[in-house]
Structures are given as C-alpha cells and as structure tokens.
C-alpha cells in the first residue's frame, strides 16, 4: 500500500457542446474506502465516471490510480492494468448460462489473452478454469446465490441478476469498483443483499468503492465520506452526518 490515494482525480472537466457536464471536479478514494457520490439528476455523476474510467476522455484534468497517471488510457486498459472496473445502470448477464458459468466466464474474459484459452482449450487453461470455479463458488455463496447456482441466469429475478453481475465483477480481482446506481429498480429486500455484497467485497476482498446512489439511506449507511455534485461542480463533501444537515445540499435537492 502506497501513501497516494487509490484514486485521485484533479480538476476534471467535460463539456458536451455548450453543456458543462463536469466543471472542474477533484475527488479521491482512499485505499479500503467506500466513498459516495451523490447529486441531483444531470449533475454530472455518470459523466464523471465515464471520464475517470476511460469510457470517454476528459477535456482537462488528471486521473491517477495509486500514484500512476492514467489520464487518456482506454476503458479496457484501465480495467486490465489498473484493475479499476465500473458498472452501468443496466444489468447485463449471460441469460442462457447458469450462475456459476456466468462468473467463470467473467473471470476467463479477463484472465486469458485469446479465444482458445478463454474457452478452456488446452491443459493449462483447464487448470486455470478449475481455480476460477473455486473462486466463483466462494463468491456465489457469499452473495446468497448458492441454491440457484445451476439455474440459467435469465430465469432469475432482476435483483438476483444484479447480484450475479456484481459477483462477476469481483472475479478479475479488481482493487476499485465504480458503481453507477447499483440499487436502481430493485426491491428493499434485495437492496440489503446488494449492500451486504458490497460490504463483503470491501472487508473480505479489500475492494474499494466509489458509489453513485440516489437512495440516501443506502449512501449514508455504506459510506464514511460523501461527495455531492451539483451542475457539474463539487457542492459539498463530508461525513453522512455533515451532508444530511448541509444547507446547500438541501437546497440543491429541494430546489430552494
Ligand atoms: N453523451 C452525452 N451527450 C450530450 N450531453 C450529455 C451526454 N452525457 C451527459 N450529457 C449531459 O451532461 C449533463 C450531466 O449528465 P450526467 O453525467 O448523466 O448526470 P447524472 O449522472 O448526474 O444524472 C446533463 O446535462 C446531460 O444531459
Ligand atoms: Mg447518471
């Protein structure tokens, strides 16, 4: 572990035409932290994620991962070399594959350099697949999906698919995951389970998180520190206790 924050972003800016989606935002995530990112619709949260993870390039600003500058790297390179992953709001699973295969494939896509080895052709690849399967089973048990591990993912509920997707993201052993509204559209019971999965990954696997989430109860319960964006700028930053009583934050959400 180095002295630098795990993720350090300085003065990030991105415009779409005349819209300054992100307008000079600095933010860091410490090693081992679960940091929250909130703000009204259109405040630039997803654009911030896009620029931090290489999906789109910022107009200006710097992105550093564990002290290494990665500004301008592609999404793929940031994922593989930087071991920083992101989720999107839409849930994506391989519907025809069972839960276990979904996780094994997720691990293989990252671990192997070519198609033959991705699909387990060759002795070395088969040994590797076996170790991925062991890892997959641990994650499936931790996600509470053990009973349904041989069911096709497409037959499971939306919430269960979210859990599969989240567990799949852990297969390549990321050090940082950026989650874009992980609780959107799932019922309260499953919200608890997704929160448990995030906490498990944080405590047991050492994964750090930056989480965009509209559900304020979820953010204040998961995160020790919260950053608030409004109109592309950082409006506030602090502990959950500080954020919920912050007058500027209340005005941004309530419109005055
Ligand atoms: N690809 C894009 N093209 C044009 N405008 C965009 C694009 N992505 C985001 N925006 C605009 O940038 C602003 C911030 O959007 P976004 O980052 O999605 O906010 P949030 O995730 O906080 O809801 C909005 O005004 C949005 O319309
Ligand atoms: Mg968004």
At 206, list the tokens: 């050492």
Please tell me the predicted confidence (pLDDT) of residue 232: 97
Task: Give percent helix, percent strand, percent coil of the chain, each to the nearest 5.
Answer: 45, 25, 35
At 107, list the tokens: 């691990």
At 141, list the tokens: 């048990």
- pLDDT tens-digit readout, 20-31: 999 999 999 999
**Residue 16 C-alpha to ligand 1 middle, in angstroms?**
8
Please tell me the predicted confidence (pLDDT) of residue 184: 86
- pLDDT tens-digit readout, 163-216: 999 999 999 999 999 999 999 888 888 999 999 999 999 999 999 999 999 999
- pLDDT tens-digit readout, 132-158: 999 999 999 999 999 999 999 999 998
Ligand 1: which of 47, 49, 232 to mutate, most ligand atoms within 8 Å of CB?
A: 47
pLDDT band at 256 (very low <50, low <70, confident <90, very high): very low
Distance (Å, rounded) from C-alpha 43 to C-alpha 59? Answer: 17
Q: How many helices (H) and strands (E) does the chain have?
A: 10, 10
Instruction: Point out the least confidently predicted range of 2-6, 38-42, 162-166.
Output: 2-6
Q: Nearest CA to 62 among 117, 103, 116, 12?
A: 12
User: Is residue 64 a contact partner of residue 7, using CB atoms and an 8 Å limit?
Assistant: yes
Instruction: Point out the least confidently predicted range of 78-92, 114-128, 130-144, 212-226.
Output: 114-128
Looking at the domain that runs over 1-83+174-256, which CATH code has it been given?
Answer: 3.40.50.300
Mean pLDDT along residues 73-91:
90
**Sign of the four-CA dihedral 95, 96, 97, 99:** positive
Q: How far apart are the first and last CA of the chain?
A: 43
At 35, list the tokens: 């940091």
Task: State the pTM of this model.
Answer: 0.92
Please tell me the predicted confidence (pLDDT) of residue 189: 86
List pocket residues of ligand 1, CB cut-off 6 Å. Answer: 16, 19, 21, 39, 41-47
Closest-approaching ligand to the CA atom of 43 = 1
Domain segments of the chain: what residues?
A: 1-83+174-256, 91-172
Q: Is 200 exposed, middle or buried (0-12, 13-18, 19+ CB in 10 A)?
A: middle
User: Is residue 214 a contact partner of residue 220, using CB atoms and an 8 Å limit?
Assistant: no
Closest-approaching ligand to the CA atom of 180 = 2
């Amino acid at each position: 572990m180095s002295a630098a924050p795990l993720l350090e972003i300085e003065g990030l800016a991105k415009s779409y035409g005349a819209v300054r989606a992100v307008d000079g935002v600095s933010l860091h995530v410490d090693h081992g932290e679960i940091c929250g990112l909130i703000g009204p619709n259109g405040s630039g949260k997803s654009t911030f994620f896009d620029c931090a993870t290489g999906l789109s390039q910022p107009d200006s600003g710097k992105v550093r991962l564990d002290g290494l500058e990665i500004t301008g790297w592609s999404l793929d390179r940031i994922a593989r070399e930087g071991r920083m992953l992101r989720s999107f709001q839409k849930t994506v699973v391989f519907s025809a594959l069972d839960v276990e295969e979904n996780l094994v494939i997720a691990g293989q896509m990252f671990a192997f350099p070519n198609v033959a080895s991705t699909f387990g052709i060759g002795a070395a690849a088969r040994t590797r697949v076996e170790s991925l399967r062991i890892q997959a089973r641990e994650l499936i048990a931790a996600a509470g999906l053990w009973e349904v591990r041989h069911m096709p993912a497409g037959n499971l509920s939306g919430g269960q698919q979210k859990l599969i997707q989240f567990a799949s993201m852990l297969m390549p052993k990321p050090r940082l995951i950026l989650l874009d509204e992980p609780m959107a559209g799932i019922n309260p019971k499953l919200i608890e389970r997704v929160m448990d999965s995030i906490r498990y990954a944080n405590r047991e696997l050492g994964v750090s998180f930056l989480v965009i989430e509209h559900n304020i109860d979820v953010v204040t319960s998961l995160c020790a520190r919260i950053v608030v964006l409004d109109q592309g700028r950082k409006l506030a930053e602090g502990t959950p206790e500080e954020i919920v009583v912050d007058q500027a934050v209340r005005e941004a959400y309530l419109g005055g």
